[in-house]
Structure 1
Amino acid sequence: MEQIMSQNLFGFLAEQAKEHQEVPRLKINLYRNYEVSAVAKAAMQLLGEGLPCRVECVMISDSYLMTHLGRTSTTLETKSDQDEFFQIMKGLTKEVSEAVLAGFPANIRPFVLADMPDGSTANAETAIENAAQMLAVGADAVKLEIFSNDRFDIVHALTEAGIPVISHLGYTPQNGENRSVGNSTDEAFELFAKARLARDAGSKGLVLERVNELVNQCLCRPSLHGVPSYSIFSGQADWGGQSLNVWDSIMKPDFKSQFFPDTATKTRADFPECYTEEALFASMYELMRQSIETSYPRSPVSKLLQSDLRQIICANPWREAAPASKARLRAA
């Protein structure tokens, strides 16, 4: 009986999704100009084949530290490392922004999102200065990881300075415990509250990483009071955008996982020889096709108790529509 109830609840979400059908929205995490070229060619081929391919955003991700540079995390211990990597990220943002202009026709051109690396948004003044530099080299918006409540003040300060911000919730690699989020009623409603605080601080959208699939779908549900979202390693997004990573499309992780793309066949030992524009075009074409056709990502087994499902699915994550004051943000 409990299993039937779970299926019925997910079926309810699926029926709602049908009523709000739209072209699937893709956010592509990448790093270099030749990766942009591969994605643009894949998108145009999919469109030419009649598939509804909408690359809405490309993001220059701070995971460059782990992919191309071989580090074990995106955390940077010293200020000198933080300053040096920020300059690398700024250079990559310029490179990618120019490649987007050259590679995508104007009518399907995605916006460029710069990931703010560790240490670059330590306080409001530093965040505004560094984010402004990202916009100056071609970014349209910046992404900020929300790993503590004082980060909402940074979002608010950036917004007040006229800098568009997307907030990253759920698992935050720069300063977060390496686990999925939203696997209990308390965690689900805490995440809903953070989403509202991000919206009220001025966030134009959300990135939801490693969030329980049902909780993710509730946050992505169409709402007059919500903001757009992009999901990664959070199951099927339905009404939300889906984040894909160019590196993950071709390079296998060094651990076992059923949730990484099956297009990945290479290992770090094959890099950089295997990592060519032609190979990336082939892997991204297939991964983007799978995402559009909803065969990727795979849905993880939910860790939520059956008794909690109805309470979560019946909730309106965005029910507090009034903007929060700065004092409220600090007190949260």
Structure 2
Amino acid sequence: MSVAKKDYKRITTKSLIEMKANGERISMLTAYDFTMAKIVDTAGVDVILVGDSASNVMAGHETTLPITLDQMVYHASSVVRGVERALVVVDLPFGTYQSDPKEALRSAIRIMKESGAHALKLEGGAEIKDSVKKLLHAGIPVMGHLGLTPQSIYKFGSYTVRAKEDAEAEKLIEDAQLLERLGCFAVVLEKIPAALAQRVAESLTIPVIGIGAGGGVDGQVLVIHDMLGMNNEFSPRFLRRYMNLFEGMTQAIGQYSADVKSGDFPNEKEQY
């Protein structure tokens, strides 16, 4: 049975919990700049993630590790200025929260104060619980992230599916439940078996957002460069491309270059 969709003028952490309770799926996409954020927000996406994936798609790094706190503040500030409805969640970058809760709080306060973001996302479970608690005690909303955690890629050694073995699956469930008990408003599950993700979603009252985690969760997130086909070199099973912007943009830019060289652009109507 379809569920009537509530018209939220502004999405908050409370809105997301209501959406889960009402059976309404949550849409989430990344954005890293003002123009893209404005488009994503206007299209009605519920949550915009200013992801540390900017390290990959904006800066060309192989991993998310190199991006700095200053760079995340810059991207987050740009996104917030383009948003009227969506909840803006920002990744705390690698090295700013893993071992020192006080450093985590200082980093979080900088992002919240300087960008105007609405919430932060941290990767990990029990091992970062003290940092999560520190942020929550300061009134900063926290979204968790379990499964494949890209900031730990050198520990994993690859981007393969996580939690296929019983021990890792049980730890993931325990970590998800811990994050809920601590007070996180949502959890992202990345690249884990669909049956496990559904089991986690059914065990929590907070929303579970999946990326490569099947359809049995409460919402989905993708990197916008991937789903729009701007990045034509990344083709995991979980990705659905809604456009092929790489091809379209390449053709348009090539035509522009040809028109400039031939003298066709600008024509008489395109000048003063």
Normalising by structure 2, we get a TM-score of 0.75
RCO comparison, higher one (Cα < 8 Å, 6+): 1
Equivalent position amino acid for 2:96 in 1:
S
Equivalent position amino acid for 1:172 in 2:
T
Equivalent position amino acid for 2:46 in 1:
E
In structure 1, runs of 5+ residues without a counterpart are: 1-19, 44-54, 77-81, 102-108, 275-332
Aligned pairs for 1:33-72 within 5 A: 33-43=34-44, 55-72=45-62
Equivalent position amino acid for 1:25 in 2:
I
Residue 208 of structure 2: aligned partner: 229
Q: 1:140 aligns with which of 84, 104, 118?
A: 118
Residue 95 of structure 2: aligned partner: 119
Deviations 1:15-44 (A, max 9, x none): xxxxx763321111111111112223333x
CA distance in 1, matches of 2:235, 2:117: 35
Deviations 1:181-218 (A, max 9, x none): 22233332221111122222332210110011011111
CA distance in 2, matches of 1:235, 1:163: 29
Distance change (3 Å), C-alpha of 1:58 and 1:188: same
Q: 1:202 aligns with which of 175, 183, 191?
A: 183
Contact preservation (8 Å) 1:169, 1:209: yes
Aligned pairs for 1:116-265 within 5 A: 116-122=92-98, 123-136=100-113, 137-146=115-124, 149-176=126-153, 177=156, 178-221=159-202, 226-238=205-217, 240-250=218-228, 251-265=230-244
Q: 1:95 aligns with which of 63, 78, 83?
A: 78
Offset of residue 253 of structure 1: 4.3
Equivalent position amino acid for 2:122 in 1:
L
Equivalent position amino acid for 1:32 in 2:
D
Equivalent position amino acid for 1:132 in 2:
I
The answer as to 2:50 corresponding to 1:73 is: no
Equivalent position amino acid for 2:137 in 1:
E
Equivalent position amino acid for 1:145 in 2:
E
SS state at 1:131 partner: helix
SS state at 2:174 partner: helix
CA distance in 1, matches of 2:193, 2:35: 34
Distance change (3 Å), C-alpha of 1:254 and 1:138: same
Identity over aligned pairs, percent: 26
Distance change (3 Å), C-alpha of 1:22 and 1:150: closer
Offset of residue 56 of structure 1: 2.3
Residue 9 of structure 1: aligned partner: none
Normalising by structure 1, we get a TM-score of 0.62
Contact preservation (8 Å) 1:252, 1:264: no
CA distance in 2, matches of 1:125, 1:73: 26
Deviations 1:275-315 (A, max 9, x none): xxxxxxxxxxxxxxxxxxxxxxxxxxxxxxxxxxxxxxxxx
Distance change (3 Å), C-alpha of 1:124 and 1:21: closer
Deviations 1:252-295 (A, max 9, x none): 44255343223353559x68x87xxxxxxxxxxxxxxxxxxxxx
Equivalent position amino acid for 2:201 in 1:
C
SS state at 1:260 partner: coil
In structure 2, runs of 5+ residues without a counterpart are: 1-20, 254-272
Equivalent position amino acid for 1:190 in 2:
K
SS state at 2:152 partner: coil
Q: Would you identify which runs of 4 or more consecutive aligned residues in structure 1 move more than 6 Å? A: none
Contact preservation (8 Å) 1:26, 1:244: no
CA distance in 2, matches of 1:203, 1:259: 25
CA distance in 1, matches of 2:190, 2:81: 28
SS state at 1:65 partner: helix
Equivalent position amino acid for 1:121 in 2:
Y
Distance change (3 Å), C-alpha of 1:257 and 1:162: closer
- Aligned length in residues: 225
Contact preservation (8 Å) 1:66, 1:74: yes
Contact preservation (8 Å) 2:161, 2:193: yes
